[in-house]
Chain A
């Protein structure tokens, strides 16, 4: 999600969205001079305590940090709290974290222009804001103590929630909170010298939710039970774009516990007293689908078309055009140059978060409220507002822990949430409705990582380094038609190829992308464009090094020197050093390096073949992510990100036959299991730079590292993922 970080701006709201927002704001004139976040926040509660919207301090001195970002595994709650706690000198052990409500203005992601989580940006975009919150509040406590004790503020120290003076006087935050609340917060409080940090960068920034997530008490959408709540399931069309022509609900209505059956825009909803009744009711539905306008192509056909476009065998039709990236210099290498060519393809991928998508909505009866794992609350408010006809800011959202997302919950159509709103609106009266998607619903609902093809043709010079790099990318646009969509190239299709140090080190580049429309919905998927571009760039480099007769690590170093890519060089060197001189007996090493979300990750993976399939053992990881807030959480994200990338590389593939998704559950959509998990070691490059992303950059590097090990082992490149297609 690099692009939305840069470009989610009000001007990108669609005409319909602007109409709704402006109508809801009682006249378009109100919009003049307002930021989009301000507009989206009209109708929102914005009363906060004396320490502002991000911080509460109770009379007992307990400090609570309010997280504007959802916690769905990435560790943001702890990381964000640490920024406040460090500058405040709060007691980390008793500190608590709660989830912010929806408020586009107050809880705006700086860089999105609205409230939302994505692009591995939570820490990076809160770095200044939350340190200031902590520092300003610390000043308020120091001033309150100075006044109470009649001593100079400069003689007062704060540590672990205790304010003290050299004379021996001391008071807790609790003792001082009433006085501190009366102090005017300074606008530009002094921030600590990083060398004096007691929390950031140490081992104490641990998860606050580990206990609740180990004893079953952590609350997810799936766990919401409210008085009079109904549970809903929806029958969806077998093919994308299918509509209901008619249906027979008589058998469904006869299922005990089924309360109602009705049509909604996305299918037929069954509402029942509990999940099992809803499921049985849905199974009993008879629906006549109108699939005249549905996507009926199979993934093999789509792949063949994309491959034809990428290779030039098929001429583009209609509006389809090549769009340039990084293009400069001559298009063609001189006759007789040494040429390396490769054509790659990547399948659709499901996110397959452990908690299937779900939502609770209460519509009508004086308020409109959603309770669920909302990743982009401002968009979910906007989509809800359009359905119910209310101010976006007036839509309450209680964001819960989500059982994973990996991009799936950051949906510009709020697909499953909007579906729940439609159902709850029909039920009416504010009666709570929980929409439950089964695993099959979740896996067949689309919003996949796009199917993508690349072709690469590289000419090598006398020194073996590239002189001409021709690159074609064909895949669906993720952002087209969304609020972040632009008329220009969808950056998420090429990020990671575009801007690559290898292209910077090449004098002549001809980069072009073509983004055909297909009826299969696509979406970001952990590390987005890098899921395929990192593979193409890193695996191509090993093929080039091989053609040049050079060691792939030294070959990279030569290119990084040419490109001025010092961070790439540093993480590569760190990973190589920590990996030690050679692989364990029977294992072969592969190396890959990739920059995404502002961070650079290098991996050395040890691979062997077991029954013809790659098995990954030790993976040495080095990351430069700027200042490391929590080294342990960074390591957790490298471990998890590597598993997520490896799972897809080994097995991940959604296929369609005649437009129908063939994988419906984990029996056919194979994912990585415990016995296949690598042992990831994480080393963090010391840095004084601002923090950059951590949640996603660990994902895209493992697949090319494994492919490079296989190349070293067998001499054959891997041109199509997943590795295991059986």
Chain B
């Protein structure tokens, strides 16, 4: 059975069963591996993508629920997004495994709240885990991309 998904602006037909999580369709069927598996239960945020601009956890989103929904993945962010430039400028990644999800959560935040406060960042980013502990630089890079002054220490 085929399902057609709207991914990064293109209609894409996939053969996976409708109960298959979007994560595994992206990774195993479409070979779009920028979106990562971290926990499978929407606790770590490594699999974050956008559904109609909202940050969602693709590991808990069956493709059957995505008819007509515009999906954006890290591959669809373009590579030159201000967040990605800030991530490189501030050397945010360490192991890097969580960073696609971090950037997708941050991009959804900035689209909604272009000049976020620390509280806004906490609220938007606290569902994305980073075991290397790059949180401080993630916060700084979001502010850098948004043109917000770094907080006073």
Q: Which residues of A contact B37 (CB under 8 A)?
A: 222, 275, 356, 436
Q: Are A439 and B38 in contact (CB under 8 A)?
A: yes
Q: Decide yes or no whether A688 CB sits under 8 A from chain B.
A: no
Q: Chain B interface (Cβ within 8 Å of chain A)?
A: 16-17, 20-21, 24, 27-29, 31-41, 43-44, 46, 73-75, 77, 79, 84, 87-88, 91-100, 103, 121-123, 125-139, 151, 153
**A276 to chain B: closest residue by CB:** B24
Chain A hits for B94, CB < 8 A: 73-75, 636, 640
Partner of A355, one of B20, B36, B127: B36
Interface-centre pick from A75, A403, A671, A681 (highest chain B CB count, 10 A): A403
Could you give 19 example pairs across A and B, Cβ below 8 Å? A75-B94, A210-B91, A216-B34, A216-B73, A222-B33, A222-B36, A231-B28, A275-B28, A276-B20, A353-B95, A403-B96, A404-B132, A640-B134, A641-B133, A642-B133, A665-B43, A666-B129, A674-B135, A681-B153
Q: Does A667 contact B (CB under 8 A)?
A: yes
Q: B93's contact among A214, A440, A673, by CB below 8 Å, is which?
A: A214
Q: Which among A72, A206, A211, A666 is the interface contact of B44 at CB below 8 angstroms?
A: A666
Q: How far is the CA of A640 from the CA of B44 in the complex (A)?
A: 17
Within the assembled complex, what's the spacing in Å between the Cα atoms of A503 and B149?
47
What are the residues of chain A within 8 A of B32 when measuring CB–CB? 216
Q: Which of B20, B96, B103 contacts A218 (CB 8 A)?
A: B96
The 10 closest A-B pairs by CB, nearest first: A216-B34, A643-B133, A403-B97, A213-B96, A73-B94, A73-B95, A677-B135, A640-B133, A213-B93, A216-B74
Given contacts A274-B29, A673-B126, A674-B121, contact A640 B73 (CB under 8 A): no
State whether B136 touches A215 (Cβ < 8 A).
no
Report the Cα distance A639→B141, complex, angstroms.
15
CB atoms of A632 and B131 under 8 A apart: no
Does residue A438 face the partner (Cβ distance < 8 Å to B)? Answer: yes
Cβ of A276: which chain B residues have Cβ within 8 Å of it? Answer: 16, 20-21, 24, 28
Size of interface on A: residues with Cβ below 8 Å to B: 64
**Across the interface, do A675 and B36 meet the contact criterion of CB distance under 8 Å?**
no
A223 partner residues in chain B, CB cutoff 8 A: 27, 33
**In the bound complex, how far is the Cα of B21 from the Cα of A438, in angstroms?**
14
Measured between beta carbons, the chain B residues less than 8 angstroms from A209 are: 93, 96
Shortest CB distance A360–B (Å): 13
Task: Please measure, in the bound complex, the distance between the C-alpha atom of A681 and the C-alpha atom of B100, giving whole angstroms.
Answer: 26
Total cross-chain contacts (CB, 8 A): 185
Question: Shortest CB–CB separation between residue B83 and chain A, in angstroms?
Answer: 8
With contacts A276-B16, A640-B94, A673-B129 known, what are 11 further pairs, Cβ within 8 A?
A275-B27, A354-B131, A356-B38, A403-B96, A439-B38, A636-B134, A666-B41, A674-B125, A675-B122, A677-B136, A680-B136
| Docked CA distance A438–B59 (Å) | 12
CA distance A73 to B94 in the complex (A): 4
**Max count, chain A CB within 10 A of own CB: residue among B32, B129, B131, B153:** B131
CA distance A440 to B44 in the complex (A): 13
Known contacts: A406-B131, A641-B133. The answer to whether A674 contacts B99 by CB under 8 A is no
Q: Which of A210, A216, A404 contacts B35 (CB 8 A)?
A: A216
Write the nearest CB–CB distance from B120 to chain A, whole angstroms. 11
A636 to B95, CA, bound (A): 12
A436, A440, A633, A671: the one contacting B129 at CB < 8 Å is A671
List of A residues within 8 angstroms of B35 by Cβ: 216
Q: How far is the CB of A363 from chain B (nearest CB, A)?
A: 22
Contact B93 A207 (CB under 8 A): yes
Give the docked Cα–Cα distance between A223 and B40 (Å): 16
Contact of B131 with A404 in the complex, beta carbons under 8 Å: yes
Task: Assess whether A215 is in contact with B77, with CB atoms less than 8 Å apart.
Answer: yes
Residue of B nearest to A642 (CB): B133
Encoded as 1 (CB less than 8 Å from any B CB) or 0, chain A from 440 to 459 comes to 10000000000000000000
Report if A274-B24 is in contact (Cβ < 8 Å); known contacts: A207-B91, A210-B87, A354-B44: yes
